[in-house]
Amino acid sequence: MNKIQEPKAAIGQAIDRVEGRLKVTGRAKYASEFPVEGVVYAQGLNSTVAKGRITRIDTAEAERQPGVMKVITHQNALKLATPDEKLLKLDTKAIAPVLQSPEIHWYGEFVGVVVAETFEQAQHAARLVKFEYEKDEHRTEYKDAGEDDSYAPSEDMQHRRGDVEAGMAKADARVEVTYRTPVEHHHPMELHAVIAEWDGEKLKVYMPAQMVNDATIGISDTFQIPKENVHVISPFLGGGFGSKLQAQEHVMLGAMAAKMVDRPVQLTVTRQQMFTNTGLRQENFQRMQLGATRDGKLTALVHDTLSHTSTEKEYQEPCGAASKMLYQAPNARITHRLVPINLPYPWAMRAPGEATGAYALECALDELAWKLNMDPVELRIINDTQVDPSNDKPFSSRLLNECLRIGAKRFGWDERPKEPRSRREGNWLVGYGVSSASRAAPLQKSAAKIILERDGDNLQATVQTDATDIGTGSYTIIAQTAADYLGLPVERVAVELGNSDFPTSAGSGGSWGAASFTNGVRSACLNITDTLVTLAGHDSTQGDDLVTLMKKADLTRHEAEGSASPTEEFDDYSVYSFGANFAEVWVDADTGMSRLKRILSVGSAGTILNPKTAYSQVLGGLVMGLGMTFMEQSKVEPNHGNFITRSLSDYHVPVNLDLADIQVVFLPEEDKIANPMGVKGIGELGIVGVASALANAVFNATGKRMRDLPITPEKLIATELEPGLARK
């Protein structure tokens, strides 16, 4: 086509989810629901020590049970690929060997699997397998670790600019505090599950995979078979939040069991096993130092993070990511250090690093504003920058100040109590809090195929890509994109996702999904139109529709692929989504019980493809941030090294009664540097800064700084007022 016209008919409309009817009628197939003939069931077995080795296994009683087909342990397991290095660096394509050794690294590690004809038989037999261990002394504490007892995971995780000591010396006000965020666990509604079926040396896997292509690589590399021999199917996911970014050990257990019994095997990770076998958000200790002049200009910023990883796998949240780039601090030091301990390996959870790091950074800024007697909104605006200070690249667009100013006006920030603990409603102390939010908005290479089928004057389009819908609305925004670029109504577009036989996309994660998927689909739409113009022998500027072009080319079916990748211009800019959160929290003066009264999220995230699904994404982030602030935490029993929290009855998450007035506003923003459609990620932006806005509101209500999440009533009551505040 001579000139690309960017359509607007469907894009930007708040249409209902195109797959919604399938979901509410139960016809959407999730991983454990596919009808596979001859399927049998597997149940994973977990260690009951935190460190040591297996010395004896008794499987006799389990093997005598009706229906039991196989008990697999390290003694008879298939040989899988194992890492060359001592600490396997986790990524979305990493291998996941299991049952390869008698060594135990954490409490709950998989030590075996039972396969039986029915799910109930497998569960019963699993309780009858007996393990004996030689225990070693384990380690689950690390907060006092020094440099000799920790290590820097990589140079990329460290950042320095200017002279921090000189910057601190110039400061008129300083803040030096440490914040802690606890272990949080992944609990999407859909449990992790797998159905694995072998046909000779070819493996078909039904699994909830956020990144289908990477899952095929992880599986093929683990079993040391060609990638083309692995077929992953994942059309629907009941939530992922990072936990389903890679093929983990339970996937390998299911595939191994299927190979060894020569039957399709279904394995579902139990809710209790979700605490030990699907990754977690690691505990972080974050030491913040800020220095500023009297007028609020930052002179220095230090953000040092100490975290844990497992003794066999390495992962660290980049908690200092926002501290590197969000504010104009000429002198900065960002460091990350890790301590290997005997807990399950950490892994990505929604906005890894940004969600936890923003809690420390944005709370420290609030503490600095209090010391300077400045409005917290104005302090952030004063330190705005249009150039990324971490790399000296200009931002492709940055409306952070607009988010703060518009949000403050809409929220009624001018009514904020100037003095903490000064506003009451009966027995409730009332406070306001604010925070900034930022999240990188990358574009990853993504491809799609368009299939056009014509029946007379009726045209049906099908989009195929291995992109995934993790509950975010991918089906819908892809349908809207294809409809607009093909000139069809949305009802004439079918979308097929989550199949490794389809063109490769980036998958869902890292806030790149929507931008990558839709730009890939856009490219495929433009390609199919161009090829039809050529086949029709017609000048496209005359504006013939696709039906006319296919008639002229004498075609009833036509297909084409296309892909999108970042441009060279993209690399010359820092590309981010930005936002601001405003919260009103009420705290009972006697019990310390906190209640969210209202929260406002203002975001600038480029083209909003569908305001309805976008709102849902941010709403989910706000709710998850609420849980992070007031409820979610996992506690370790130090003597045995296991988690005390082992179910949703003691690991608390928000419910409807915990919510209040939630408002979400998207600012109009055009950013064609980010990508041709100007789309940016919002799925992770929605959680960033929520915990800090709420914690800052608690300070404004009570005069107490809460530097240890979650903010529970007992912690709040035990915390002293900030110096200089009189009890009211």
The set of catalytic residues is: 684
* Percent helix, percent strand, percent coil in the chain, to nearest 5: 30, 25, 45
C-alpha 620/C-alpha 616 separation (Å) is 6
| 308 closest CA partner among 477, 191, 444, 138 | 138
| Residue 629 CA: distances (Å) to CA of 65, 155, 355, 539 | 47, 31, 11, 60
Residue 298: beta bridge partners? 292
**Is the C-alpha dihedral spanning 717, 723, 725, 728 positive or negative?**
positive
* Tally of CA atoms within 13 A in the half-sphere of 144 that contains its CB: 2
Chain-centroid distance of CA 305 in Å reads: 20
| Residue 324 CA: distances (Å) to CA of 52, 302, 605 | 40, 9, 20
Are the C-beta atoms of 511 and 44 separated by less than 8 Å?
Answer: no
Tokens for 172? 């008129």
C-alpha 608/C-alpha 613 separation (Å) is 9
Determine the number of helices (DSSP H) and then strands (DSSP E) in the chain.
Answer: 16, 32
690-702 vs 354-372: helix crossing angle, rounded to 10: 30
C-alpha 508/C-alpha 469 separation (Å) is 7
Are the C-beta atoms of 518 and 10 separated by less than 8 Å?
Answer: no
Are the C-beta atoms of 287 and 304 separated by less than 8 Å?
Answer: yes
Are the C-beta atoms of 292 and 172 separated by less than 8 Å?
Answer: yes
In three-state secondary structure terms, 168 is helix
